[in-house]
Structure 1
Amino acid sequence: MNQQINLKKLQDTLLDAVKEFKKICDEENISFFLRGGSVMGAVKYDGFIPWDDDMDIAVPRDDYDRLIEIFNNRKIANKYQILNSKYQPELHCYFPRLFLIEEEREKLGLPSNTHLGLHLIDILPLDGAPNGRFQRNIYFGKVYALRFLASLGTTYVDGHVDMHTPKQKMLINIAKGLLLHKMFPQTKVYRMLDSLYTKYDWKKQNYAGTITASLFKKEVMPVEIWGDGVWHQFETERFLIPTDYDTYLKIMYGENYLSEEPDEKKSHHK
């Protein structure tokens, strides 16, 4: 099976997964936004970025905490499941991820992309941040330090994709040599992150975002950019995206996001 056919099959699976996920969220009154490249896809292509192979969503913290409990040990359409570090520490990821169950993955002939199988959707909390610039920079520093400590607890077993740069790996090895991973077990650091993230209610702050995501502090922006969200077409469905999605995408990807293509089209899959 060639790569193009694989990608079409994978995107069809992603769309089915997010549709089935949304059905349960609607039943449970859980709201969510598309996030990151999924917002780019909605705005620029009315669907997937042509080479994209995963999806990202942002869930307001109150709904996010309920989501973890609601979806724990619950199959979605008998094809998908959500794993989270609170109940499945072997995930080695702060936020939950939606997976295609192994039987379905094998049936579809899709590849794994982690040691736990095929992860399709990242589910990130949408949290507030301090209003003042000085306080916000202190907050960023604390988040960065805790995220670094959390990375020390990740076990790179067969199939676990290592996303760290050579410099990051060097720092991680130094920290492990100092036994910081013993002093700060990953589950403990995740609880510390929870305590820090939940300190600021995104509806009451001037800034909010998904700081636990890959673009770190760039993800935190004036809260009115998120707003209540607007519905936008994504393939055959409609999903909420940030209200001021143009400013959101300019902050995340640059002023010319509509006309420019990224230099590197990365895949999350082998």
Structure 2
Amino acid sequence: MKAEGKEEEFSSDLKAVHEANLYIMREIDKLSKRHGISYRMDSGTLLGAVRHRGFIPWDDDADLLFRREEFSKLCAVSAELPEDLKLLLPWELRKGRAFYDFVPRILYLRSRRHGEESAEQEFYEGKLNHLWVDLFILDALPDNPFLSALYRFRQKLVFGLAMGHRMRIELSKYKGLQRLQVLFLSGIGRLLPMPLLFRLQERWAGACTRACRRSGRKTKRSYFSNYQPDFQHCTVENTWEEPYSPFAFEGERFPGPKNWDRVLRMLYGDYRRLPPEEERRPSHSGQIELWESTEREERREEQ
């Protein structure tokens, strides 16, 4: 990524994309250490750390995980991030009237995923047209099997309702009964104000976490409360999680779970096996544009 001043450079080079994502991760890590905020790598980033000691070669984003109380701490100090990074909360799209998903993100503002404007970019005010790091939230899950299933069902339900406020729903991704469910829930969701659905998701997702905080007790398991519906089955034993320990990642070190093998097997099954070559492609399409200030170029040269 080379530029003079704010001159722009288009790149589909994943090496440059990984470098930008590593910069975001590094700044989040510095901020977290400064304020005693606990977090870990998650999903494909954790898989990359274990299997590749860095990014999955064909991946183009990064995933971090915070327990709810730790994420609240991050939000409180996010203004301390460098000026080219910004925390985007899900309800900040179109003043809370639009929906993409329930995942907060740290955006790299000196990037664009697509050089040309599109209806979708305009609908989301251009806020999603950047490289970003996804921030997933881990919440306590009730020990009671019925309540555990209810909590995860509610997250699927509110996601389906919220889809009614997306710019478009790609129905080709869904088949049979699932397609009917998406049509039914999104149709009802259009009749409900999106701010209400955001409040419901927050209240339901963190209900057990807040109850545990009030009572001082702990549950045995936790779940990823802002994962998409098809991953709401994912849960972890709390004994797999803390204390987090450092993992080698692209020549640096970032935290991961204590029992990373169990976490990865829960998420991916046989995670050591590489996917077929035709599936080894970035998850986000488009030519990525990256540019940097002269100040950051000079700082890198000094390092």
TM-score (norm 2): 0.74
Give the equivalent residue in structure 2 for 1:136.
148
Shift of 1:105: 1.8
Identity %: 22
1:118-139 deviation line (CA, Å, top 9, x unaligned):
1321011111111122221122
Give the equivalent residue in structure 1 for 2:85.
80
Give the equivalent residue in structure 2 for 1:249.
264
Residues 32 and 60, structure 1, Cα contact 8 Å, conserved in 2: yes
RMSD of equivalent CA atoms: 2.8
1:208 aligns with 2:222: yes
Give the equivalent residue in structure 1 for 2:189.
180
Match of 1:96 among 86, 97, 104: 104
Give the equivalent residue in structure 1 for 2:111.
105
| Higher RCO (CA 8 Å, separation ≥ 6 residues) | 2
Residues 41 and 47, structure 1, Cα contact 8 Å, conserved in 2: yes
The residue matched to 1:218 in structure 2 has which SS? coil
Distance 1:180 1:59 in 2: 28
1:90-139 deviation line (CA, Å, top 9, x unaligned):
563322111121xx226xxx647973211321011111111122221122
Residues 230 and 242, structure 1, Cα contact 8 Å, conserved in 2: yes
Residues 33 and 59, structure 1, Cα contact 8 Å, conserved in 2: yes
1:152-182 deviation line (CA, Å, top 9, x unaligned):
22224xxxx95972345654444454x4322
Question: Which 10-residue stretch deviates more, 127-136 or 12-21?
Answer: 127-136
Shift of 1:52: 1.0
Match of 2:255 among 212, 234, 240: 240
Question: Which 10-residue stretch deviates more, 60-69 or 112-121?
Answer: 112-121
Distance 2:82 2:218 in 1: 36
Give the equivalent residue in structure 1 for 2:201.
193
User: Aligned letter for 2:30?
Assistant: K
User: Which structure would you say has the larger Rg?
Assistant: 2
1:24-72 deviation line (CA, Å, top 9, x unaligned):
222222221100111111111111111111001111111212323432x
Runs of at least 5 residues in structure 2 that lack an aligned partner in the other structure? 2-9, 122-126, 286-303
Distance 2:152 2:233 in 1: 10
The residue matched to 2:208 in structure 1 has which SS? coil
Q: CA separation of 1:190/1:119 partners in 2, compared to 1, >3 Å: closer, same or farther?
A: farther
Q: CA separation of 1:182/1:219 partners in 2, compared to 1, >3 Å: closer, same or farther?
A: same
Give the equivalent residue in structure 1 for 2:72.
65
Distance 2:281 2:139 in 1: 27
Shift of 1:8: 0.6
Q: CA separation of 1:95/1:70 partners in 2, compared to 1, >3 Å: closer, same or farther?
A: farther
The residue matched to 2:271 in structure 1 has which SS? coil
Q: CA separation of 1:16/1:245 partners in 2, compared to 1, >3 Å: closer, same or farther?
A: same
Runs of at least 5 residues in structure 1 that lack an aligned partner in the other structure? none
Residues 218 and 252, structure 1, Cα contact 8 Å, conserved in 2: no
> How many pairs are equivalent?
254
Question: Which 10-residue stretch deviates more, 48-57 or 58-67?
Answer: 58-67
Residues 68 and 96, structure 1, Cα contact 8 Å, conserved in 2: no
The residue matched to 2:66 in structure 1 has which SS? strand
The residue matched to 1:38 in structure 2 has which SS? helix
